């Protein structure tokens, strides 16, 4: 199956060839003909499946056939939950449509509204927007939807998790009743189904089965270390290994700042990305990281949502997240688009509970290692060997009272996204693992427990509260 066989015009076929896409991904094979035929689409698909091209290519083709947008009018509206996702989707659309004479714009909050107003004044064919800023623009009479032809709701589950339901309902009221609707969501909870009923009409339902789970695609291991030694160990690992692009995770914004400063002081170019940074600083950080100007980007969980850095080879969890699903999201930043990747977690004794929750969620016990010179004085208590089957995600969501877009595949395995099967089996670094003392009680029952302090109480915040509420608005 080729892109032209899906009915795409030569200009778009050339664009995808320039992107290096050889064959359509499963979601593209299903969604492109349906959208070209004018059908509504309801798709169960996560980031990493190629869904952006799945909706953008046929939309661009249809828009190309019609009349250009009139002043202030929008012909296709793509709503995304986060600024980063809006920027990425908008950039993809601009690249795919480079050979067509269509106007695109991206609007989100946190940056000046005036350039956005000017851009919209002429009218745009495709507008990618986050909900809050779109409503602001509408209220300022900068944008109108009378000739809207297509609505795309991207990552609908995240929209709901991030509290955008009222904004979405307001936006829906502004749109003409007769339009084509495409809705994408990684999970299909009752709330999403309710929302879908108000949006899509007799949709073609597309569901992409997970081909390989995060756990299978990404090589995962933990290095046990004392908490205080973590920054030193991170510096050591980065100096010892030729890892050119590393996304490191810190649980807090201050922690992210401190780590980035420390790395920079060790001549390891690094930048922090989190909700306290201005949107321009976040965009620049991501850009510098993607271009290889900085080697390490230290992120908090919310700031990292939706980031698609192609072929990201390494994720290092400097702290384990309090919410186990975030671990799956974090390591899902690597091994994207069928690539393999490596995720290393630095785990201290007081993170045993988080580790146990993660291992239970992914249904797998992680390999433990100790780095020479960084042997922990406080051993990380052993997690149970018997990993219970993970609960259905809907139940976890209720228990936590929070969000989750971790999906289950047919076998009940946990996966951050669906993906195409990997075309390469290496770890993308081209460098074999280093000679490390493999230890720990999981692998070496003879190892002395050291100063293990089994009475030590976890000092973490177990509330599961997000540290950056509404960080992307
Ligand atoms: P998305 O799910 O839209 O965020 O896409 C995830 C990644 O897959 C992006 O880096 C795309 O450039 C890439 N991608 C999309 N479609 C294809 C394809 N048909 N073949 C290879 N890579 C693709």
- Contact (Cβ atoms closer than 8 angstroms) between residue 248 and residue 318: yes
Looking at ligand 1, which residue's alpha carbon is closest to its atom 14?
50
Predicted confidence band of residue 8 (pLDDT cuts 50, 70, 90): very high
For residue 454, pLDDT over 50 is answered with no
Please state, in angstroms and rounded to a whole number, the distance separating the CA atoms of residues 22 and 3: 8
CATH of 4-207, one of 3.50.50.60, 3.30.565.10, 3.40.50.2030, 3.40.50.300: 3.40.50.300
More confident residue, 422 or 42: 42
Mean pLDDT over each residue of the chain, to the nearest integer: 80
pLDDT for 460: 29
Pocket test for ligand 1, best of 5, 13, 25 (most atoms within 8 A of CB): 25
What Cα–Cα distance (Å) separates residue 300 from each residue in 121, 306, 407?
36, 12, 21
Distance from residue 91's CA to the centre of ligand 1 (Å): 13
Choice among 30-34, 170-174, 211-215 with the minimum mean pLDDT? 211-215
Give buried/exposed letters for 156-190 (b at 16+ CB in 10 A, else e): bbbbbbbebbebbeebbeebeeebbbbbbbbbbbe
Distance from residue 49's CA to the centre of ligand 1 (Å): 6
Q: Is 310 in the pocket of ligand 1 (CB under 6 A)?
A: yes
Please state, in angstroms and rounded to a whole number, the distance separating the CA atoms of residues 147 and 138: 14
Ligand 1 atom closest to 25 (CA): 19
Degrees, nearest 5: CA angle 78-84-86? 10
Distance from residue 80's CA to the centre of ligand 1 (Å): 17
Tally of residues, the chain: 473
For residue 224, pLDDT over 90 is answered with yes
What lies within 8 Å, CB to CB, of 376 at 6+ separation is 224, 225, 226, 229, 348, 349, 370, 450
Q: Is 48 in the pocket of ligand 1 (CB under 6 A)?
A: yes
**Could you state, in order of their start, the residue ranges of all structural domains in the chain?**
4-207, 212-473
Choice among 144-158, 174-188, 300-314, 398-412 with the minimum mean pLDDT? 398-412
Domains 4-207 and 212-473 in one fold: yes
Q: Is 50 in the pocket of ligand 1 (CB under 6 A)?
A: yes
Q: Is 322 in the pocket of ligand 1 (CB under 6 A)?
A: no
Q: Is 61 in the pocket of ligand 1 (CB under 6 A)?
A: no
Give buried/exposed letters for 351-388 (b at 16+ CB in 10 A, else e): bbbbbbbbbbbbbbbbebbbbeebebebbbbbbeeeee
Distance from residue 337's CA to the centre of ligand 1 (Å): 6
Q: Report DSSP letters for 99-133, one per residue.
A: TS---EEEE-TTS-SHHHHHHHHT-EEEEEE-HHH
Residue (of 249, 258, 448) closest to 354 by Cα position = 249
pLDDT for 368: 94
Instruction: Classify domain 212-473 by CATH number.
Output: 3.40.50.300
Output the furthest CA–CA distance in the chain (Å, rounded): 74
Q: Is 51 in the pocket of ligand 1 (CB under 6 A)?
A: yes
Which residues on adjacent β-strands are paired with residue 347? 224
Looking at ligand 1, which residue's alpha carbon is closest to its atom 16?
50
Distance from residue 217's CA to the centre of ligand 1 (Å): 16
Q: Is 418 in the pocket of ligand 1 (CB under 6 A)?
A: no
Distance from residue 206's CA to the centre of ligand 1 (Å): 17
pLDDT for 372: 95
Grouping H, G, I as helix, E, B as strand and the rest as coil, residue 313 is coil
pLDDT (average), residues 230-250: 94
Tens digits of residue pLDDT in 296-325:
999 988 777 656 666 678 999 999 998 887
What lies within 8 Å, CB to CB, of 469 at 6+ separation is none
Predicted confidence band of residue 336 (pLDDT cuts 50, 70, 90): low
C-beta atoms surrounding 276 within 10 Å: 15
Tens digits of residue pLDDT in 69-103:
999 999 999 999 988 899 999 999 999 999 999 99
pLDDT (average), residues 25-32: 94
Q: Is 21 in the pocket of ligand 1 (CB under 6 A)?
A: yes
Pocket test for ligand 1, best of 22, 53, 96 (most atoms within 8 A of CB): 53
Tens digits of residue pLDDT in 97-109:
999 999 999 999 9
Tens digits of residue pLDDT in 241-260:
988 899 999 999 999 999 99
Q: Is 311 in the pocket of ligand 1 (CB under 6 A)?
A: no
Looking at ligand 1, which residue's alpha carbon is closest to its atom 19?
24
Q: In this structure, what DSSP letter does residue 314 have? A: E
More confident residue, 22 or 451: 22
């Amino acid at each position: 199956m080729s892109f032209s066989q899906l009915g795409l015009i030569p200009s778009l076929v050339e664009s995808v060839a320039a992107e290096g896409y050889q064959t359509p991904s499963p979601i593209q094979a299903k969604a492109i003909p349906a959208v070209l035929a004018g059908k509504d689409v309801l798709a169960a698909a996560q980031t990493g499946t190629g869904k952006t091209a799945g909706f953008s290519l046929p939309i661009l083709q249809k828009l190309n056939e019609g009349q250009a947008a009139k002043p202030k009018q929008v012909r296709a509206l793509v709503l995304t939950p986060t600024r980063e996702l809006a920027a990425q989707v908008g950039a993809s659309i601009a690249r795919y449509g480079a050979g067509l004479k269509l106007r695109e714009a991206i609007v989100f909050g946190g940056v000046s509204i005036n350039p956005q107003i000017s851009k919209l004044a002429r009218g745009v064919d495709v507008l990618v927007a986050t909900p809050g800023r779109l409503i602001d623009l509408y209220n300022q009479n900068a944008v109108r939807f009378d000739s809207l032809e297509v609505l795309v709701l991207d990552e609908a589950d995240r929209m709901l998790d991030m509290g955008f339901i009222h904004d979405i309902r307001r936006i829906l009221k502004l749109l003409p009743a007769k339009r084509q609707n495409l809705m994408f969501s990684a999970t299909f909870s009752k709330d999403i189904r309710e929302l879908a009923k108000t949006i899509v009409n007799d949709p073609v339902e597309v569901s992409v089965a997970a081909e390989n789970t995060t756990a299978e695609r990404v090589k995962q291991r933990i290095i046990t270390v004392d908490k205080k030694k973590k920054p030193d160990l991170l510096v050591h690992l980065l100096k010892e290994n030729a890892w050119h692009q590393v996304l490191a995770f810190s649980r807090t914004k201050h922690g992210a700042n401190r780590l980035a400063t420390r790395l920079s002081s060790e001549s390891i170019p690094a930048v922090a990305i989190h909700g306290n940074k201005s949107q321009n600083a976040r965009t620049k950080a991501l850009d510098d990281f993607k271009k290889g100007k900085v080697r390490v980007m230290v992120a908090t969980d919310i700031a990292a949502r939706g980031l698609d850095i192609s072929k990201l080879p390494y994720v290092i969890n400097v702290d384990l997240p309090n919410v186990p699903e975030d671990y799956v999201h974090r390591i899902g930043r690597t091994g994207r688009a069928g690539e393999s990747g490596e995720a290393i977690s630095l785990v201290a004794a007081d993170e045993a509970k988080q580790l146990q929750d993660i291992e239970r969620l992914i249904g797998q016990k992680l390999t433990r290692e100790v780095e020479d010179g960084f042997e922990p004085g406080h051993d990380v208590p052993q997690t149970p060997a018997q990993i219970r089957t993970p609960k259905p995600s809907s139940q976890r969501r209720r228990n936590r009272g929070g969000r989750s877009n971790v999906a289950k595949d047919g076998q009940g395995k946990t996966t951050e996204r669906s993906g195409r099967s990997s075309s390469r089996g290496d770890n993308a670094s081209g460098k074999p693992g280093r000679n490390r003392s493999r230890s720990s009680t999981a692998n070496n029952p003879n190892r002395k427990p050291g100063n293990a302090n089994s009475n030590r109480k976890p000092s973490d915040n177990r509330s599961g509260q997000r540290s950056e509420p509404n960080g992307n608005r």
